[in-house]
Chain A
Amino acid sequence: MTTSTNLTRSSVKTISLSYRTCGALGAAVLLAACSADKLDITNPNTPTVAAATADPQALLLQATGLLRQLRGGRGAFISNTGIFGRESYNYTPQEGRNTSGFLIGISGQNRLDPAGFAVGIWAGPYGNLRDVFNLKNAAAASGSLTAEQKNATQGFAKTIEGLELLYVISTRDTLGAVVEIKQNASDLAAFVSRDSVYKYILATLDDGAANLAAGGSAFPFTIHAGFTGFNSPTTFRLFNRAVAARAAAYYATSGGGAAAWQRSLTALTASFMNTTATTRAQLDVGPSHPYSPAPGDANNPLNVVTATDIYAHESIRADVQNKANAQPDDRYTAKIGARPARNAPQGLGISSSLGFNIFPALTSNIPIIRNEELLLLRAEALLATGDKAGAIAIVNQIRVGSGGLAPSALTAASPDADVLTEILYNKRYSLLMEGHRWIDMRRYGRLNQLPRDITTGVNVHFVARVMPIPQSECLVRAGKPVPIAGPGC
Chain B
Amino acid sequence: MGRFFSFAAALAVAILPLSADAQTRDISGKVTQASVGTPLSDVTVSIVGQQVGVRTNERGEFRMRVPSGEVVVLARQLGYKRQTIRLGPTENTANFVLDKDVLQLEGVTVTGQATVTDRRVAATAVATVAGPELNRVPARSIESNLAGKVAGARMFENSGAPGGGAQIQIRGATSVLASGDPLYVVDGVIISNASISSGSSSVTRASGSTGSSQDQVVNRLADLNPNDVENIEVLKSAAATAIYGSRATNGVVVITTKRGKQGKATWNVVQRAGTQQAQRLLGHREFASYDEVKPFVGGVLGDSIARAACGTGPCPAFDWQQELYGRTAPSWETLLSSAGGANNTRYFISLNDRQESGIAINTGARRTGGRINLDQTIGTKLTVSAGLDVTRNFFQRGFGNNDNSGVSPIYSLAYNPAIIDLQAKDASGRFVQMPFYTGNTRPGFGTSNPFEVFNFADNTESVWRQSGNVRVGYTALSTTKNSVQLSYLTGVDRFQQEGNQYFPNYFQVEPADGFLGTSSQVNASSLQMNQGINAVWTYTPGGKWFTSATTSFGGTYETQALNQYSVRGRGLLPTRKIALGATDIAITNSRTEFRDQSLYAQTQLLMLDEKLALNAGVRADRSSANGDREKYFTFPKFSGSYRFVKPLTDKIDEIKFRGAWGQSGNRPRWADRDILYADGGLIGGSGSLVSAGLLGSTTVKPEVMNELEFGTDATLFGGRIGVEFSRYQRRITDLLLTFPLAQSSGLGSQVINGGQLSVLGTEAVLSAVPVRTGNFEWTTRIIYNQNAQFTDSIPVPAFAVAGSFGAAYGRNRIQGGTRSTNIWGNAPFRPNPVAGQPNTVADTILFDSNPIHTTTFNNDFSYKRFTLSALIDWRNGGYVSNMTNNLWDEGGQSADFSDAAPSSIVPASGNVPASRACGTQTLGACRYATFNSGDIRPYIQNGSYVKIREVSVNYQAPDALAKKIPGASSLRFNLSGRNLAIFSKYWGFDPEFSNFGNSNFNRFIDLAPFPASRQFFFSVDVGF
- Chain A interface (Cβ within 8 Å of chain B)? 1, 3-4, 7-8, 10-17, 21-31, 33-34, 36, 38-41, 43-50, 52, 58, 60-62, 64-65, 67-69, 71, 92-97, 106-107, 109, 115, 122-123, 126-131, 133-134, 177-178, 181-182, 185-189, 222-226, 289-290, 292-299, 303, 305-308, 340-342, 345-346, 362, 458, 470, 472-473, 475-478
Contacts and interface: CB of A to CB of B under 8 A. Distances in A.
B624 interface: yes
A296 B682 contact: yes
B636 A11 contact: yes
A69 to B, nearest CB: 6
A256 to B, nearest CB: 23
A300 B602 CA distance: 63
B687 A94 contact: no
Interface string B1-37: 1011011001000000000000000000000000000
B948 interface: no
Given A127-B746, A189-B742, 19 more contacts: A3-B603, A7-B617, A26-B4, A39-B596, A46-B671, A46-B674, A49-B676, A49-B677, A60-B686, A67-B683, A93-B444, A123-B743, A126-B746, A131-B691, A181-B746, A186-B739, A188-B742, A290-B684, A308-B512
B993 to A, nearest CB: 20
Interface in B444-500: 444-447, 488, 490
Interface in B620-641: 620, 622-624, 629-634, 636, 638
Given A34-B555, A46-B692, A60-B686, A93 B438 contact: yes
A30 B531 contact: yes
B404 interface: yes
19 contacts: A4-B551, A8-B616, A8-B638, A25-B554, A30-B557, A33-B557, A36-B622, A39-B595, A50-B675, A64-B689, A68-B682, A68-B690, A71-B683, A93-B438, A178-B742, A178-B744, A223-B684, A225-B684, A294-B685
B303 to A, nearest CB: 12
Nearest to A43: B674
A94 B207 CA distance: 12
B437 interface: yes
Given A41-B595, A130-B746, A94 B404 contact: yes
A8 B632 contact: no
Nearest to A296: B682
B550 to A, nearest CB: 9
A16 B539 contact: no
Contacts of B403: 94
A297 to B, nearest CB: 4
Interface string B304-318: 000000000000000
Interface string B598-631: 0101110000000000001110101110000111
B743 A458 contact: no
Contacts of B533: 25-27, 30
A40 B585 CA distance: 34
B747 interface: yes
Contact of B741 (A46, A185, A340): A185
Nearest to A224: B684
A243 to B, nearest CB: 19
Contact of A7 (B531, B587, B618, B683): B618
A468 B693 CA distance: 21
A297 B624 contact: no
Contacts of A129: 746
Contacts of B623: 39
B549 A1 contact: yes
A218 B843 CA distance: 54
Contacts of B549: 1, 4
Contact of B3 (A23, A39, A470): A23
A180 to B, nearest CB: 9
Interface of B: 1, 3-4, 6-7, 10, 299, 403-406, 411, 437-438, 440-442, 444-447, 488, 490, 511-515, 531, 533, 539, 549, 551, 553-555, 557, 583-587, 589-593, 595-597, 599, 601-603, 616-618, 620, 622-624, 629-634, 636, 638, 671, 674-693, 695, 739-748, 750, 797-798, 806-808, 840-841, 843, 890, 929, 932-934
A295 B586 contact: yes
B3 A26 contact: yes
Given A15-B620, A48-B676, A127-B691, A478 B797 contact: yes
Contacts of A342: 438, 440
Identify the interface centre among B441, B533, B539, B617: most chain A CB within 10 Å of its CB.
B533
A7 B680 CA distance: 51
Given A26-B555, A127-B690, A39 B514 contact: no
Which of the listed residues B488, B675, B741 has the most CB atoms from chain A within 10 Å of its own CB? B741
B691 A130 contact: yes
Contacts of B445: 308
Nearest to B678: A46
B548 to A, nearest CB: 12
A14 B592 CA distance: 27
B437 to A, nearest CB: 7
A28 B686 contact: no
A131 B593 CA distance: 29
B669 to A, nearest CB: 12
A469 to B, nearest CB: 9
Contact of A45 (B444, B591, B745): B591
Q: Which 7 residue pairs of A and B lie closest in terms of their CB atoms, listed nearest first?
A: A130-B746, A224-B684, A4-B603, A93-B446, A33-B557, A306-B514, A11-B636
A133 B745 CA distance: 11
Contacts of A14: 631-634
A442 B737 CA distance: 41
A30 to B, nearest CB: 6
Contact of B531 (A33, A40, A123, A290): A33
B731 to A, nearest CB: 16
Contacts of B442: 340
A296 B742 contact: no
A130 B584 CA distance: 31
A378 B976 CA distance: 83
Contacts of B686: 60-61, 64, 222, 224
B921 to A, nearest CB: 12
B745 A458 contact: no
A329 to B, nearest CB: 27
A130 B690 CA distance: 9
Contacts of A290: 683-684
B743 A470 contact: yes
A8 B745 contact: no
Nearest to B686: A64
A17 B599 contact: yes
Nearest to B628: A14
Nearest to B691: A130
A16 B632 contact: yes
Contact of B618 (A10, A67, A130): A10
**Which of B553, B589, B683, B741: most chain A CB closer than 10 A?**
B683
A126 B7 CA distance: 59
A47 B617 CA distance: 40
Contacts of A306: 513-515
A346 B437 CA distance: 11
A265 to B, nearest CB: 32
Q: Which has the most chain B C-beta neighbours within 10 Å: A4, A8, A307?
A: A4
Nearest to A299: B584
A290 B685 CA distance: 10
Given A38-B595, A94-B446, A306-B514, A24 B3 contact: yes
A299 B683 CA distance: 10
A14 B488 CA distance: 26
B310 to A, nearest CB: 22
A343 B677 CA distance: 42
Nearest to A225: B684
B689 A47 contact: yes
A3 B616 CA distance: 12
B296 to A, nearest CB: 11
A185 B750 contact: yes
Contacts of A224: 683-686
